[in-house]
Structure 1
Amino acid sequence: MRFLALVVLLLVVMTPVGRAAPDVVPLPADKQAFGTARSAASPVWFALGHQGLSEIFHPDLSTPATRETRLLVDGKPGQAHTEPADSRSLTFRQRLRGNGWHAEITYVTDPQRAAVLADVTLTAARPVRLSVEHVPMKGFSEVVSTLPTGPVRHAHGTFAVGFADGAAQAALNRGFGAVAREYARGWHTYLDGLRRPRSADRKLYDMSVMVLAASEDKRNPGALIASPSFPWAFGFDRELAPELGPYALVWPRDLYHVATAMIAAGDRDIALRALDFMLRKQQQPDGHLPQNTRVDGTPFWKSIQLDETAAPLLLAWHLDRRDPSTTDSLRRAADYLLSYPNAPFSEQERWENQSGYSPATIASVVAGLVCFADLLRRNGENADRYLQVADEWQRRIESWTATTTGPYEPKPYYLRLTKDGNPDAGTRYNLGDNNPDDIDQRAVVDPSFLELVRLGVKRADDPVIRNTVRVVDQQLKEQGYWHRFTQDGYGETADGRPWNINWPTPTRTYGRLWPLLSGERGEYELLIGHKASAAQRLREIAATANSGLMLPEQVWGGRGTTSATPLAWTHAQYVRLAWSLDAGRPVERPDVVANRY
């Protein structure tokens, strides 16, 4: 085995800040791993793909700075199998194989600077030449290495990707072992400060908590992105997504789910930061929260989703946050809900491509208003006007959204949404996402109606709830999981090609199965006394993890698709259901709402 002490500068790349290199698009969104140091001094995050490092994010989580950095052997990459190298830190190992060679690469980031390190051991049947291919997207990055430059059959070395002048070299000078030990200690210390539920798989639970914690931006506390990935057309269609979005953004809905999971896990501080981010950075002057924002709070997509404006009302109740500044911000959100035209009609519901009266949205706003009213009451303030509206909307949910004339049995059952507040009318609308034909609103159902139960707005044994469970299972359950709604088109073509919007001649695409919906079903099953079924839902979510223990947005045939992976919401649902199983009830369900209704 031959080692070269000489440090070789393999590549230094500069592109203008804020501009991507020409024709550079992200890699497939099914990331095999995601990592960063716990230290705020290291504003860099890496994702692993199927052949090595895919996107590296710097200086924040809304900015993919590189597309790809991978080991080449005689100019060609290998295929990688990814696994955690340490079950209690975001340290990952890839085993690569190529023509007559195999290698192991272990990845960490330097806790003291913006640099990613990869430690490589290679064995080949013949002398081979090693190099590192590095494709930047934005800003400055450099790669330095101690890999051999001449032909070798055995080699051990390290390469580093740095994002400040000299950062890569400084990380190499410390040595991979020292950096990796400090990196691991940071995560070990973090997990040591948390609890662990009895019900969960230990390794997947720890990984889920770490992935959620790693999803928080280091320059903008409380800003947790949806996923470090760019699925399908969001990665390659610059007309649809001019700036590589939108998953590496902060969605108030996803942020709420992550925050409630972290409260259950024992990291209350991250939830407090999330609430502050919602109210200090995301909330607009009129009180609403935009569809999503960059990690600095700048609105990106600006559609109105009333459930997202209700999210801080719910989260504040879980945290008992009722100081004057917080209460003033919450009041603006609550007043916005009351004043929105035709509320609880929403411009978009939680799947974001339709307007109307949605059971899930109505559940969120009713629960949010009741929770806010409870905070006001504890402060000695009168909250009657918020409760009066919440009660009226709660009484009218069925008249707005439950049909007695639809095509399915048993009736009545909840619809995904109504366009007109008349669920017995055969109003037709286009589902979007490459569905070529309009559809009768009475034929479209959605598991999201369970928000009514999970948030305490309806009883779990309510007859319409039970009817809808049966209808949804008949129409949407497949392979042990659930689709989002009837004829969901957000997914892949029949032969597995990626989703894109391709009008005026659409190519039909098919939304696959969402593991997080299994978690929501499990929370419902706890409320009807089916704990064994709820435990099975937790195992079903766990079964979708890839070899790096990343949980996906969508699955098909028991495996994750090239949808967003890891999806923070899926990991949050796994964490929250695990704690709900331990508690014997959904830990997110606000008692003040359930007791009222």
Structure 2
Amino acid sequence: DKLFQGALVASLSIPWGETKADSDRGGYHLVWTRDLVQSATALLATGQTGTPLRALIWLAAIQRRDGSFPQNSWLNGTAYWSGLQLDQIAAPILLAWRLYKQGVAIGLFDPRVMIQRAAAYLILQGPVTGQDRWEENAGYSPSTLATVIAGLVCVAEACNEQRNTKLADFILVYADWLAAHIEEWTVTRQGDLVEGFPRHYIRINPTDPDAPDSHADPNTTMIQLANGGGLHPARNVVGGDFLHLVRLGIRSANDPIVCDSIEVIDRVLKHDLPRGPGWRRYNHDGYGQKDDGRAFDGTGAGRCWPILTGERGHYELAAGRDPLPFIKSLENFANQGGMISEQLWDAEDLQNGNMKRGSATGAAMPLCWSHAEYISLVRSRHDGVCFDRVEPAFQRYVVNPVQSRHEIWSLRHPLRRISRGKILRIILAAEGSIVWSTDDWASTNRSDTTHESGLNLFFADFPTAEWPAGSAFTFTSFWKRDQRWEGRNWQVSVQ
């Protein structure tokens, strides 16, 4: 936008706009943080720096005091929808990191305040996201976790370069904890979709965002899908979201679970279209053109998305293969004007001629995210490595994997059990004294929290190696500023 420079909308179109009344103010002519970062990153991949920098400054201007960003907003920054998506909190950190690594001069603008606020929010509110990247379900999402981990590693690297190793170490403890639990939270070992492949990533492990289950089992949880998709075992709903773990450098392309998951999504979601391969977002998806060609009206059938072809191309590059066929596919998906759509018709041609296999549906066109995916893939092939890969994360979790020594407890994510030998870290938003016992209050102990000033968070560590197996760590908090007791106890079993 020329007035609010740096504000990049998702699309100038309204999906199935022919069915919308003038009173419907929604559509894709809004700014989504995730889509903006995708577009700005693609421009950066072409060598442009002005618009990506202005985009970062615009994001800093609309960031809330708690470190969060709106789900989407108008060009002037006024929030429109109110969903919470943790990947959209982490995405601006990645943009700031990429600008820095490209050597872009930022003038008087200092992004450290923005990225540290965002990091504090991610630590306090994670790891459960209120919405996944498709804005439909809450829970443990592999793509969200990948983005959050990569973003936190970027903040830690920035702190290290400023010689603030204490803050960097604090952030990395949390990132390492997330990385250590990815499979526990998002991998099933009881999948029924493809015979011989019961172990694979699921689309999302659902849990109530207001009262998250800190030990939600991906083998048993049930997911209610949006847009009429129905209720299903979460273990049997898959998507390509886990590919972000490879793209951003959190997991190896050759990781056995990743390879098994590739096999599953190819058999469940892949469609061989006349112009190249396509993938649907997930099975039972209801966001798309109806089977008879009518417009999506709250229910429909989710179709193939060109961006998923690009994401698969990035995976193929990470796995050591040439992504050129996927680049060509994206080019073939474009219409005569060079525009790439949000979705492609992946069924047979309709007799009335309004839907042809491999051509655009009535969804958004052009979709900036689709174009950004194409540009980023072209640049990635040129470089021989994914342009989005966060090198410090790749070194930390793939090349020389670190082991997490901590388990993290927060009010947002209260653990009920930990393994003996881990360090239990309690993280709070306010200063407190932790009063605790491991012998059912026969004796009590008091531990004051330490202030991490860079994030304005408070924490206390409790080594468990000397505690008896089977014991219970029971605790409460006295809040110093308010001079009051919490009024309840929490308990963590030591196993």
**TM-score between both structures, scaled by the size of structure 1:** 0.60
Residue identity in the other structure for 1:378: E
Alignment-derived partner of residue 495 in structure 1: 292
1:351 aligns with 2:138: no
Alignment-derived partner of residue 313 in structure 2: 522
Find the partner of 1:429 among 214, 217, 223. 223
Size of the aligned set, in residue pairs, is: 366
1:402 aligns with 2:195: no
1:440 aligns with 2:223: no
Specify every segment of 5 or more residues in structure 2 that has no aligned partner in the other structure, as ranges: 208-214, 346-356, 398-495
Q: Is the 2:191–2:197 Cα contact (8 Å) retained in structure 1?
A: no
Q: Is the 2:15–2:27 Cα contact (8 Å) retained in structure 1?
A: no
1:483 aligns with 2:270: no
> Residue 509 of structure 1 aligns to a residue in which SS?
coil
| 1:107-118 map, 5 Å | none
1:461 aligns with 2:254: yes
Name the CA distance, whole Å, in 2 between partners of 1:235 and 1:274. 32
Pick closer, same or farther for the CA change 1:424–1:574 going to 2, 3 Å: closer
Q: Is the 1:401–1:422 Cα contact (8 Å) retained in structure 2?
A: no
Deviation at 1:425, TM superposition (A): 3.2
Alignment-derived partner of residue 86 in structure 2: 306
Residue identity in the other structure for 1:384: D
Residue identity in the other structure for 1:570: S
Alignment-derived partner of residue 434 in structure 2: none
Residue identity in the other structure for 1:415: I
Residue identity in the other structure for 1:310: A
Alignment-derived partner of residue 119 in structure 2: 334
Find the partner of 2:147 among 364, 375, 381. 364
Alignment-derived partner of residue 544 in structure 1: 333
Alignment-derived partner of residue 269 in structure 1: 50
> Residue 160 of structure 2 aligns to a residue in which SS?
helix
RMSD of aligned residue pairs (Cα, Å) = 1.6
Q: Is the 2:57–2:109 Cα contact (8 Å) retained in structure 1?
A: no
Name the CA distance, whole Å, in 2 between partners of 1:424 and 1:264. 37
Residue identity in the other structure for 1:483: R
Deviation at 1:519, TM superposition (A): 0.7
Name the CA distance, whole Å, in 1 between partners of 2:114 and 2:218. 38
> Residue 430 of structure 1 aligns to a residue in which SS?
strand
Alignment-derived partner of residue 418 in structure 1: 205
Query: What are the superposed Cα offsets for residues 81-123 of structure 1, whole Å, 9 maximum, x if unpaired?
Result: xxxxxxxxxxxxxxxxxxxxxxxxxxxxxxxxxxxxxxxxxxx
Query: What are the superposed Cα offsets for residues 283-318 of structure 1, whole Å, 9 maximum, x if unpaired?
Result: 112110111010111101111000000011111111
Pick closer, same or farther for the CA change 1:548–1:324 going to 2, 3 Å: closer
Query: What are the superposed Cα offsets for residues 247-282 of structure 1, whole Å, 9 maximum, x if unpaired?
Result: 00000101111111111101111111111111112x
Alignment-derived partner of residue 56 in structure 1: none
Q: Is the 1:313–1:371 Cα contact (8 Å) retained in structure 2?
A: yes
Find the partner of 2:35 among 241, 249, 254. 254
Larger radius of gyration: 1
Query: What are the superposed Cα offsets for residues 43-93 of structure 1, whole Å, 9 maximum, x if unpaired?
Result: xxxxxxxxxxxxxxxxxxxxxxxxxxxxxxxxxxxxxxxxxxxxxxxxxxx
1:289 aligns with 2:69: yes
Deviation at 1:554, TM superposition (A): 0.4
Alignment-derived partner of residue 229 in structure 1: 13
Query: What are the superposed Cα offsets for residues 407-445 of structure 1, whole Å, 9 maximum, x if unpaired?
Result: 13423210001114534433222201122x311111100
Name the CA distance, whole Å, in 1 between partners of 2:43 and 2:178. 30
Q: Is the 2:56–2:96 Cα contact (8 Å) retained in structure 1?
A: yes
Comparing 298-307 and 414-423, the one that deviates more:
414-423
Alignment-derived partner of residue 376 in structure 2: 576
Alignment-derived partner of residue 564 in structure 1: 364
Deviation at 1:576, TM superposition (A): 0.7
Deviation at 1:385, TM superposition (A): 1.0
Residue identity in the other structure for 1:422: A
Name the CA distance, whole Å, in 1 between partners of 2:259 and 2:186. 15
Find the partner of 1:591 among 391, 394, 409. 391
Name the CA distance, whole Å, in 2 between partners of 1:355 and 1:488. 16
> Residue 37 of structure 2 aligns to a residue in which SS?
helix
Q: Is the 1:234–1:245 Cα contact (8 Å) retained in structure 2?
A: no
Alignment-derived partner of residue 156 in structure 2: 373
| 1:100-139 map, 5 Å | none
Find the partner of 1:393 among 161, 165, 178. 178
Name the CA distance, whole Å, in 2 between partners of 1:381 and 1:538. 42
Name the CA distance, whole Å, in 2 between partners of 1:271 and 1:580. 18
Residue identity in the other structure for 2:150: A
Name the CA distance, whole Å, in 2 between partners of 1:463 and 1:223. 40
Pick closer, same or farther for the CA change 1:234–1:333 going to 2, 3 Å: farther
Residue identity in the other structure for 1:574: Y
Q: Is the 2:43–2:49 Cα contact (8 Å) retained in structure 1?
A: yes
Specify every segment of 5 or more residues in structure 1 that has no aligned partner in the other structure, as ranges: 1-216, 502-507
> Residue 140 of structure 2 aligns to a residue in which SS?
coil
Query: What are the superposed Cα offsets for residues 96-154 of structure 1, whole Å, 9 maximum, x if unpaired?
Result: xxxxxxxxxxxxxxxxxxxxxxxxxxxxxxxxxxxxxxxxxxxxxxxxxxxxxxxxxxx
Name the CA distance, whole Å, in 2 between partners of 1:298 and 1:324. 22
Deviation at 1:583, TM superposition (A): 1.1
Name the CA distance, whole Å, in 2 between partners of 1:295 and 1:234. 24
Name the CA distance, whole Å, in 2 between partners of 1:559 and 1:427. 36
> Residue 438 of structure 1 aligns to a residue in which SS?
strand
Q: Is the 1:235–1:245 Cα contact (8 Å) retained in structure 2?
A: no
Name the CA distance, whole Å, in 2 between partners of 1:425 and 1:575. 37
